[in-house]
Structure 1
Amino acid sequence: MSKADNMLAILWLLKANKRMTAKQLADALEMHIRTVYRYIDALCASGVPIVADSGHNGGYSLLAQFKESPLFFDMGEQKALIQAAVFAQEAGYPYGDVLRQALAKLKLYANEDQRSAIDKHLVGFDVISSGADAGMEPLLRQLESAVAANATMLIEHLKGVGLEPQRRQIDPYGLVHWKGKWYIVAHCHLRQEIRSFRVDRILSASPTEGAFSRPEDFSARAYMLRFLKPWSGSDGDKPVTVIVRGQPGTLNALCETGPFGDALVERTKEQAHFLLEEDMLLTYVPYYLIGFGAKLDILSPPELRTRMADLALELHRHYQLPL
């Protein structure tokens, strides 16, 4: 660890314990005792109120007022941090290794009672998501760094299943996590508009020499809440309204399936309205609907009904063929 990390570690240990000797600090941090003395002197010189008591029961301690300073977290703050970390890790937070390191420090520099309390708050607190793709971490880190540096990126983006990848030069304004998916909100140089791109559909990303200025007061979150087309990203054609009728239980299952859960606009007991991208309507969506068979009735658009009939006929012909 760096000098700053070691000095902070000494503070955490003194905060977690009433009193520690230089040898105890050296053993805990696996460093030479003379190094501990140097760090203690440096902390005292910077204004940290460390009290040194000599004698058999002597050692170093912090003034009680300093232990309550904002530098340290109380039990409620520690609980909030570790539980928030569970959400972040399940969401595929791109700096998971750094987050785990921070949590390890939090536990390392806590006393036995504090560690026990932390563990109690973790037991029975779980988050289940669709599962983050660990392979996306490098790309997410790259995009996050580009957002922070106002650096223009060149990406190769897969707009939809079965379509050819497209190259886009973008000015990344922000990353947004929504319903288990990461999106990059960016100014698209080709469209000359702000668009959103699903990160899991970005096949490659590379920096350019370009730089940009983010619009003042721009919020990627606000943009997504207003313009989000969840399943395919907003770099597509005008969405088409799909109206489906069925029994409540069947509609419940449909609304939890693939693109439909993200695209639901309005729902009644036996009918649901969705907004879906036009280029997916006849290529991707029918394969989700076919599994429901005759339990659903597609009311609109008519071309989707026709495609469903054609797909059912294709399957009928396929399974009539001999093996």
Structure 2
Amino acid sequence: MRASRLLSVLLLLQAHGRMTATQLAERLEVSTRTIYRDVESLHAAGIPLYGEAGHAGGYQLIDGWRTRLTGLTAEEADRLFLTGLPGPADELGDGAVVAALQLKLHAALPPPLRERATLLQQRFHLDTPNWYADGDPSPHLASTADAVWRQRRVEVRYRSWTGEVTRVLEPYGLVLKGGRWYVVAARPGRVEPATYRVNQILALTPLDEGFDRPADFDLPAWWRAHVREFRARLHQDEATVRLSPGGRDRLREIANDVVVAAVDASAGPPDANGWTTAVLPIESLTHAHGELLRLGADVEVLAPAQLRDRLAATAAELARLYHER
């Protein structure tokens, strides 16, 4: 552990030119006293490192000296694809590994490319969760990732839409979609895998049983096909609605691209008040009821009658509730 930290000190100084003990301590999450001891050890090892006191002081390597100890460990190489996703890497428990990998890659670059990489980090940031959530925390995400990596079966207690179930799963891969983690897994004896939201795993027990992952299983290709099928199944019905200008604008914010495109394609000319009539695809009466309520008085359902009646009943109940006061 200490040897790794000493190397990190060298790489940080090589990448940044000059850093104070406080800056080094903050980056490596140790005390300044520890940094002082590390610098003494580097001096004793013959590393051409010197320090300057004062406001503009700090530690610095002799000009022209560069360490060649930038080789990646096997663990760091495995996590290379996560270097641009620090948030998900932290969720998987790989934050420290990815940070060390980024440092080594940064130190290995020649000065012009290092400056460009620094600018990229300063000007582009990937934040995968949506505005109304802080990600998809799960106490079983790291264990699920370990089972995926080691190809080991797991027994899970899972909250499905029908209730709690217990399953033995063979996890093929993990997918981060819209800030939420899903595990693509098969059940023993079944050929076609399914998706399970990791956040809904209530308990997980690693089993001492391996499994053979199909050699031709392509996780990205399978996921793309799964998304296409999901979207095709999602909208099985349709509703005819009238939308105010504000309601149509609001619909673009809350609805998915399929719904927005359908409304744009079917919308007739606006009436004297700017309202338009359009046909939009719906998943179910219950789902459409909840979604259209978000538009308030900026939408009127014309058909189907069952959906119109549900919204009318909700509106009447809301009016009664507010008039009682």
Q: Does the alignment pair 1:287 with 2:284?
A: no
Tell me the amino acid that sits aligned with residue 142 of structure 1: S
Matches within 5 A, 1:204-283: 204-228=203-227, 239-245=234-240, 246-247=242-243, 250-251=247-248, 253-257=250-254, 260-261=255-256, 264=259, 267-269=262-264, 270=267, 271=278, 274=281, 276=283, 281-283=284-286
Q: Which residue number in structure 2 is paired with residue 55 of structure 1? A: none
Q: Which residue number in structure 2 is paired with residue 310 of structure 1? A: 310
User: How far apart, CA to CA, are the structure 1 residues paired with 2:107 and 2:199?
Assistant: 38
Measured after TM superposition, the shift of residue 174 of structure 1 is: 1.0
Tell me, what secondary structure is at the counterpart of 2:223?
helix
User: How far apart, CA to CA, are the structure 1 residues paired with 2:314 and 2:180?
Assistant: 33
Q: For the structure 1 residues 191 and 91, does the alpha-carbon distance in structure 2 shift closer, same or farther, using more than 3 Å as the test?
A: same
User: How far apart, CA to CA, are the structure 1 residues paired with 2:142 and 2:292?
Assistant: 36
**Normalising to structure 2: TM-score of the pair?**
0.59
Q: Which residue number in structure 2 is paired with residue 31 of structure 1? A: 37
User: How far apart, CA to CA, are the structure 2 residues paired with 1:168 and 1:272?
Assistant: 41
Tell me, what secondary structure is at the counterpart of 2:236?
strand
Asked whether the equivalents of residues 169 and 190 of structure 1 are also in contact (C-alpha less than 8 Å), the reply is no
Tell me, what secondary structure is at the counterpart of 1:213?
coil
Kindly provide the CA deviation profile for residues 258-303 of structure 1, in whole angstroms up to 9, marking residues without a partner as x.
xx42775953513565474xxxx34444212223256446688x5x
Matches within 5 A, 1:1-323: 1-7=1-7, 9-10=9-10, 13=13, 29-31=35-37, 35-36=41-42, 71=70, 85=84, 87-89=85-87, 93-95=91-93, 97-98=95-96, 101-102=99-100, 121-123=120-122, 125-127=124-126, 129-130=129-130, 133=134, 136=137, 138-160=139-161, 163-189=162-188, 193-228=192-227, 239-245=234-240, 246-247=242-243, 250-251=247-248, 253-257=250-254, 260-261=255-256, 264=259, 267-269=262-264, 270=267, 271=278, 274=281, 276=283, 281-293=284-296, 295-296=298-299, 302=304, 305-317=305-317, 319-320=319-320, 322=324
Measured after TM superposition, the shift of residue 125 of structure 1 is: 3.9
Tell me the amino acid that sits aligned with residue 254 of structure 1: L
**Could you say what the CA RMSD is over the residues aligned between the two structures, in angstroms?**
5.1
Where structure 1 has 5 or more consecutive residues not aligned to the other structure, the ranges are 19-25, 41-49, 53-58, 74-80
Tell me, what secondary structure is at the counterpart of 1:130?
coil
Asked whether the equivalents of residues 156 and 165 of structure 1 are also in contact (C-alpha less than 8 Å), the reply is yes
Q: For the structure 1 residues 148 and 193, does the alpha-carbon distance in structure 2 shift closer, same or farther, using more than 3 Å as the test?
A: same
Where structure 2 has 5 or more consecutive residues not aligned to the other structure, the ranges are 19-31, 50-59, 73-79, 268-277
Q: Which residue number in structure 1 is paired with residue 26 of structure 2? A: none
Equivalences, count: 273
Asked whether the equivalents of residues 153 and 169 of structure 2 are also in contact (C-alpha less than 8 Å), the reply is yes
Asked whether the equivalents of residues 183 and 197 of structure 1 are also in contact (C-alpha less than 8 Å), the reply is yes
User: How far apart, CA to CA, are the structure 2 residues paired with 1:188 and 1:298?
Assistant: 43
Asked whether the equivalents of residues 159 and 166 of structure 1 are also in contact (C-alpha less than 8 Å), the reply is yes
Asked whether the equivalents of residues 264 and 272 of structure 1 are also in contact (C-alpha less than 8 Å), the reply is no
Tell me the amino acid that sits aligned with residue 141 of structure 2: L
Kindly provide the CA deviation profile for residues 54-109 of structure 1, in whole angstroms up to 9, marking residues without a partner as x.
xxxxx986977x66x79389xxxxxxx9x964x54279743364268548957998
Asked whether the equivalents of residues 301 and 308 of structure 2 are also in contact (C-alpha less than 8 Å), the reply is no
Q: For the structure 1 residues 157 and 240, does the alpha-carbon distance in structure 2 shift closer, same or farther, using more than 3 Å as the test?
A: farther
Q: For the structure 1 residues 192 and 241, does the alpha-carbon distance in structure 2 shift closer, same or farther, using more than 3 Å as the test?
A: same
User: How far apart, CA to CA, are the structure 1 residues paired with 2:122 and 2:11?
Assistant: 28
Q: For the structure 1 residues 262 and 205, does the alpha-carbon distance in structure 2 shift closer, same or farther, using more than 3 Å as the test?
A: farther
Q: For the structure 1 residues 101 and 91, does the alpha-carbon distance in structure 2 shift closer, same or farther, using more than 3 Å as the test?
A: closer
Kindly provide the CA deviation profile for residues 169-189 of structure 1, in whole angstroms up to 9, marking residues without a partner as x.
221111112233222111135
User: How far apart, CA to CA, are the structure 2 residues paired with 1:290 and 1:202?
Assistant: 31
